[in-house]
Amino acid sequence: MERLGESGSRVIHSPAFDIVRAPDSVLAQRIGGLAAFDAVIVTSPVAAKMLAERVVGPGIRDLRFYAPGKGTAAALHAAGLRCDFPVTGGTSEHMLAMGEFAEVNGVRIAIVGAPGGRGLLASELDRRGASVEMMHVYRRQPLPPAPALLNALRKRHALVVLISSRQAFGIITGDLGKELRSGWLASRFVVSSERLERVCSNAGVSRICRAVGAADEQMLAAARKAGWSSG
């Protein structure tokens, strides 16, 4: 948002959900239980920060952690944890292509995040023979679209939408009435993955540019390449 604002773009922030942490007692129990696993996948910076706040004892510190990108990994590194991530891209497909997940038969893997995310990761690792457990440390509370976004759609402004979450796309799209939804779907979308591109296309979006990942610079680079931003 800062980079786009500096380039002279008018930026609208419309978060699709609030983060609601699990109760402290539940967090302590679930994070402490990670010591029973062979590997831990942390799916978001939010989950990584929650985990980093509570890292105690060698049972956790000796684990091998994995993340979809360097932002999530950085929070774990700051807590003294070893964490690997895909060299390029940040999707579930990129993670599944990592050599560490090629042979996982019998490996115990925890996936730390929130309900509704990384379903492909869990199902594919399970198919490969891993024992997978979802460890939910927070949930997403849906929010209505920002008033500024609604106002821009009512005025039929030409929008460029940078979005990296299928859940966020679904929440915002579902909350818009028929008239505003048509303007939303007519916008130019910069998306972070092939699966999100398919979701947007199936919903009626026709102008889509796919970034190589969800990191800020990757999304901005895709927008610049498409000629949709100078930021």
69-116: per-residue pLDDT in tens?
888 999 999 989 999 999 877 788 889 999 999 999 999 999 999 988
Please give the share of the chain, as a percent, with pLDDT higher than 70. 98
Distance CA 152, CA 87 (A): 37
Q: Whole-angstrom Cα distance, residue 123 to residue 166?
A: 18
For the cut 80, the answer to whether the pLDDT of residue 163 exceeds it is yes
- Mean pLDDT (whole number) for 132-148: 95
pLDDT band at 215 (very low <50, low <70, confident <90, very high): confident
Q: Is 195 exposed, middle or buried (0-12, 13-18, 19+ CB in 10 A)?
A: middle
Q: If DSSP codes are grouped into helix, strand and coil, which group holds residue 135?
A: strand
Q: Is the dihedral of CA 225, 226, 230, 231 positive or negative?
A: negative
- Show the domains of the chain with their CATH numbers: 2-16+145-225 (3.40.50.10090), 19-140 (3.40.50.10090)
Helix (H) or strand (E) holding 216, with range, is helix 216-225
Could you give the CA distance from residue 87 to residue 75 in angstroms, rounded to a whole number? 17
Question: What are residue 108's DSSP bridge partners?
Answer: 131
Give the pLDDT confidence score for residue 127 in this predicted structure.
Answer: 96
Which tens digits make up the pLDDT trace of 183-201? 999 999 999 989 999 999 9
Listed residue (140, 143, 181, 144) closest to 161, CA to CA: 181
